[in-house]
Amino acid sequence: MSLNLFKLDGRIALVTGSGQGIGLAIAEGLAAAGAHVVLNGRDAGKLEKARSAIAAAGHKASVAAFDVTDQKAVEAGVAKIEGEVGPIDILVNNAGTQRRGAFVEFPAEDWHFLMATNLHSVFYVTQAVAKRMAPRNRGKIVNIGSVMSKLGRPSIVPYTASKGAVALMTQGLAAELGKHNIQVNAIGPGYFVTELNQALLADETFSNWVKSRAPVGRWGETKELAGAAIFLSSEASDYVSGHLLMVDGGLTAVV
């Protein structure tokens, strides 16, 4: 099989929540594979810093700062990208957040915040992009789920609900958009070393639990998500749709 199947030359990829962490690692991977990546988030300064780093590595990147929880801002932002950069070939719905707390005491405002960021944004951005992909009869959509798309843990019930919904939305979108030659898949990251996970990393008990629970015996590095993203964004996955690809060091494969 030719490695050309994994090349993304000439493709335009929008990656939400890509100013840092998992989103930035995925954007860097797609750019290295040849895509022109469009970095999205709300912090224009952080996005510009990321864009400069990608450009310094010899790859193509642009910035599109807008709030993915605001449907009007999403529609305007996607229209601007298509008008100024070009047609979006690849969408990675990565924007997400976390709130922890006992379910019986969980604030309603935190529930709505989680759903807006983790779930509603996937609806808004995918709708804006897919309606433009469909007439072109091509496209790749990659949603970022979680090991919590399949598992439950105390203190993060709302997060689990949002990521479970993303997994099932992925299947529904695959069923509906397949006729337009649009493949829709998801990645389920396990526990990765990111800026947002510093408190968990510093918790020796929790960190050791992760290392003992995952067969590979360690936390993941964000760069290890790039391969899955490239695969699901490339011709190599043209007959893969509706799939949740776990990148978790084997955590969900064992009891």
CB 54, CB 28: distance < 8 Å: yes
Return the DSSP state at 104: G
The residues assigned a catalytic role are 159
Cα separation, 83 vs 78, whole angstroms: 9
Closest CA to 12 of 95, 96, 94, 78: 78
Closest CA to 101 of 162, 153, 50, 48: 153
Cα separation, 38 vs 61, whole angstroms: 6
Q: Which helix (H) or strand (E) holds 182?
A: strand 182-189
Cα separation, 25 vs 224, whole angstroms: 8
* Cα–Cα distance list, 76 to 116, 121, 201, 209 (Å): 18, 14, 38, 44
CB 142, CB 167: distance < 8 Å: no
